[in-house]
Amino acid sequence: MFGLEPGDRVLAVPPHPDDETLGAGGTIARLTEAGIEVHVLALACVTLPRWGAATNTARRRAEFEMACDVLGVAGRDIAWSDDHRARNLGAHLSELVRLLEAGHALSLAELRPEAMLIPAAGAVHQDHQAAHQGCYAAARPTGGLRHVPRLVLGFRGPEDHAWSPRSPHASVLVDITASSALKDKALNCYAGEMRDPGHPRSLDRIRAIDTATAAALGCERAEAFVPYRMAW
């Protein structure tokens, strides 16, 4: 896939634990089944009132671990959990860039991945917007001063498909028909984050997005990515 070979590494950077599965779960499963190492560094998780009930970082970490196991993810971590920076990623962009460049065991400097999956520009959620900015800056060309992944692809969340008029065209399509059952299983690990039918984050709507994307390929289900760098 993408010219990657067994043993190559991919770093996925979701803003929150669950975004990696929502936007790229089928692709991650395809990569790991092909012998490619996928590592996931979720950026933020914080206990806050939401939808009438507080989030629970311990539960979300446990769900994240289960979903990563289902998808075959190698290394995984949540960078800022119940940390003041997790409450406002946009206010800590410089720290976020340093974290992604070399400030974590799953950073670009330490992991040296061939490919990077990042939140696409034009997202609805402010954390996704900040995560995109941080990832885009960390993956910038450096003239050999730091490791630069040769593939950088942007994934979108389910809300972005319905309410994000500024989102760039996602022209890289991945057939996830064979790995869709693993994506669904990983999504079901996030019992505290998934919603009732009809909500953008419900299993039926996510399947519908994948099915609509697949129409361009003539397959059953697919995921779409925005290409930021594709270099061979």
What does the block give as tokens for 53? 């009930």
What does the block give as tokens for 208? 């519908």
pLDDT value of position 52: 52
Q: Is 193 inside a domain boundary?
A: yes
Mean pLDDT of 177-200: 93
pLDDT value of position 51: 60
Residue 143 above 90 pLDDT? no
What is the distance between the alpha carbons of residues 7 and 24, in angstroms, rounded to a whole number?
20
> What pLDDT band is residue 199 in, cutting at 50, 70 and 90?
confident
Given a contact cutoff of 8 angstroms between Cβ atoms, the answer to whether 117 and 13 are in contact is yes
Q: Is 152 inside a domain boundary?
A: yes
Q: Is 154 inside a domain boundary?
A: yes
Mean pLDDT of 203-224: 96
CB proximity list for 99: less than 8 A, separation 6 or greater: 79, 107, 134
User: Tens digit of pLDDT for each residue in 44-53?
Assistant: 998 876 665 5
> What pLDDT band is residue 213 in, cutting at 50, 70 and 90?
very high
Q: Which domain holds residue 93?
A: 9-230
Q: Is 2 inside a domain boundary?
A: no
pLDDT value of position 198: 85
Which percentage of the chain shows pLDDT scores above 90? 82
Residue 93 above 70 pLDDT? yes
What is the distance between the alpha carbons of residues 116 and 232, in angstroms, rounded to a whole number?
14
Q: Is 155 inside a domain boundary?
A: yes
Q: Is 3 inside a domain boundary?
A: no
Q: Give the number of domains in the chain.
A: 1
Average confidence score pLDDT of the chain? 93
Please give the radius of gyration of the chain, using alpha carbons only, rounded to the nearest integer. Answer: 16
Q: What is the CATH number of the domain that holds 225?
A: 3.40.50.10320
pLDDT value of position 166: 65
